[in-house]
Amino acid sequence: MESLSAQLYSFGIVLLAGVSLGILFDVFRVARGLLRPGVISTPLLDLFFWALFTPLLLLYLLLANWGELRGYVIVGLGLGFFFYKLFLGEMMITLLLGIVRLGSMLLNLVITFGLWLLSIPLVLIQEIRFSSGRKGERVRKRWKPRLRWRK
């Protein structure tokens, strides 16, 4: 028979596994909301979720009690998931959505900057082409819009 401290250690590890299940579940929930998978890709995404979580759960069980599946393991997983959803769930989703928004803004900034860099040679070529005329040709002036105020 195991000592009480060993059993509490195992139960704590299993609670942590339940919290990890909640975090991974919320990551996939946010990803699913962003990707909006169809009828075929939804089961594939669910399969991918369990393919990631199952080795993680096995690792937790090996750390907790050498892989023995007992009643308190299932209770601990459920309690860990419940406590995560109760106390940290909404905060984690808000954090994940903030990270997605920040990543989207940074990606938009990088793409905009890259397109701006690519447009510089084109603008220079256009300026050179229109500013230097051939012999006897009139140099084309740049078009400037007139600002007219409405009355």
89-100, pLDDT tens digit by residue? Answer: 999 999 999 999
Over pLDDT 70: what percentage of the chain?
A: 85
Separation of alpha carbons 66 and 59, rounded Å: 9
Tokens 């704590």: give the residue: 12
The long-range contacts involving 118-124, CB below 8 angstroms and separated by at least 24 positions, are none
Q: Any idea what the Cα angle at residue 93 is, between residues 90 and 95, rounded to 5°?
A: 110
Phi first, then psi: what are they for 39, rounded to 5°? -65, -35
Between 138 and 103, where is the model more confident? 103
State both tokens at 10: 């195992």
For the chain, the first-to-last Cα distance in angstroms comes to 93
CA 105 to chain centre: 13
Q: How confident is the model at residue 6 (pLDDT cuts 50, 70, 90)?
A: confident
Cα 138 to Cα 144: distance, rounded to the nearest angstrom: 18
pLDDT tens, residue by residue, 27-67:
999 999 898 888 888 899 889 989 998 999 899 889 888 87
How far apart CA 117 and CA 111 sit, in angstroms, is: 10
pTM: 0.71
